[in-house]
Structure 1
Amino acid sequence: IFSFFGIIDFLSTVPKYLAFFFMGSQYFTAFRALRLLRVFRILKLVRFVGESNKLINALRASRTKISVFVFFVLIISVLLGTLMYLIEGPDHGFNSIPHSVYWTIVTLTTVGYGDISPQTPLGQFLATLIMIIGYGVIAVPTGIVSAEYASNLNTNKTMDEGRSCPNCSCEIKRSDADYCRKCGYNLNQEDEDENEKEA
């Protein structure tokens, strides 16, 4: 019952019974959508979970780089928001520095609600720079995760070579292995023997 799908079943059925005892708990029936995760088991899609694990591992390995980057973006947002407040001011809708920082984050993430917009030429120029920086903000974390994912794939390739030991026929899992993990045979022995024959 404490398995992954057991917990999913529990969370998807409990809200129905809570509705009998507590008023307002009908909103928890949205948890019933968790039953859709059963589709993975029905359609035999569980084998693709390993691929998602590679992506999760890449995200986990690059979390420090992404955290530093997000912290840097937060600092840039505060600085540019303060600068925009000084340029535009309350007359043009930038009522406070936090309000201006909100506008900077909305512009930087290319959401652009349009509730506030700069009116002065200098403010519009700064807004243009923030928009251009926003494209870089989108690209950098994607590049970090992609590089980590590619490096994980390369290390997996070195793990699955498919050789076998000539002495005990044990499968050699690493391409850079010098000795057999089972019998200790020198895997480079054949190369050394050939070199001696040629000499």
Structure 2
Amino acid sequence: MAPPEWLEPELRPIQKDGWRAYMFRLMFRHHEPDERRFDVALLIAIAISVLVALLDSVALLHAHYGSYFYAVEWVFTILFSIEYLIRLSIVRRPLRYALSFYGVIDLLAALPTYISLFVVGADHLLVIRVLRILRVFRILEMVEFSKEGSELMRALHASRRKIGLFVLFVVLITVVFGAVMYLVEGPEHGFSSIPHAMYWAIVTMATVGFGDITPQTPLGQFITSIMILIGYGIIAVPTGIFGAHLIQSGMEKRAVRQMDVEDSCLRCGEREHHAEARYCHCCGERMPIDDKES
């Protein structure tokens, strides 16, 4: 099964032979030795460019080797820019590739260096290039990991309303307890405003407790204890909601795998269908199991 469309769009070469066809095979295929060598070289270049960006953020290294780091960053930026333009020129639908997941990541890999010419410090966004490492899922044919990621996304999408309602409830608690602590403790104990007290409520419920604001009165400390207990419940509730949808997704997946071989699609031969499916999800053919029941 191919990766989901948001990971890899359906691309076609702009021509069947010539240099465009060769570059398309080299950049978008991952089976032949030369294709693998190109992919490995690309991953190494990405890793080195990200490492340079990380080292350049260290003040001591930047003071001694800043000019070298700057030159190396521009070399990789030019290489990635050329690669991006070649990818656009060899696909039949360049706009579709540019708007795809990998297309956007490829653009962001080169963009920060150009932005740094106008915005100081934008070059540190070069660490975005590390997202291009996601190509390893295709290069190593780790499609199964893409399937698992899709299942997580589906479970998160299915539980979005419950989690959204829960987040709204947390926001209301934050506002209420922030206002209460502002009245109880007051500016003399560090709670200078209701938004500042809301910040305290958030870090307290998250059980982080930075310690920059602490209640001093007994009533404030009692309210803090309640907030900490609420925080533990807040951590558990969304996890349970998300886990329940994952379990439900797994049960549906097992139901799909338990279909008999003779019930496969007569047109395309697809075997994996939902137990209650009436039509093939690949080609739309009427399922033979439906014919038996009728």
- TM-score tier by shorter-chain length is 0.7 to 0.9
Is contact 2:278-2:290 (8 Å) kept? no
Matches within 5 A, 1:29-68: 29-68=126-165
Q: 1:92 to 1:38 in 2, by over 3 A?
A: same
Taking the aligned partners of 1:138 and 1:42, their CA distance within structure 2 comes to 37
Taking the aligned partners of 1:125 and 1:114, their CA distance within structure 2 comes to 16
- Are residue 129 (structure 1) and residue 229 (structure 2) matched? no
Matches within 5 A, 1:1-150: 1=88, 2=97, 3-16=100-113, 22=118, 24=120, 25-150=122-247
- Are residue 173 (structure 1) and residue 273 (structure 2) matched? yes
CA RMSD of aligned residues (A): 2.9
Q: 1:132 to 1:9 in 2, by over 3 A?
A: same
More displaced 10-residue stretch of structure 1: 172-181 or 46-55: 172-181
Q: List runs of 5+ in structure 1 lacking aligned partners.
A: 190-199
Report the secondary structure of 1:185's partner residue: helix
Deviations 1:20-75 (A, max 9, x none): x5463423423322332233233332331110100000001111101100101111
TM-score (norm 1): 0.79
Is contact 1:158-1:176 (8 Å) kept? no
Taking the aligned partners of 1:16 and 1:178, their CA distance within structure 2 comes to 54
How far off its partner does 1:90 sit? 1.7
TM-score (norm 2): 0.55
Matching residue of 1:195: none
Q: 1:9 to 1:101 in 2, by over 3 A?
A: closer
| Structure 2 residue identity aligned to 1:186 | K
Matching residue of 1:158: 255
Matching residue of 2:292: 186
Percent identity at matched positions?
A: 45
Q: 1:120 to 1:15 in 2, by over 3 A?
A: closer
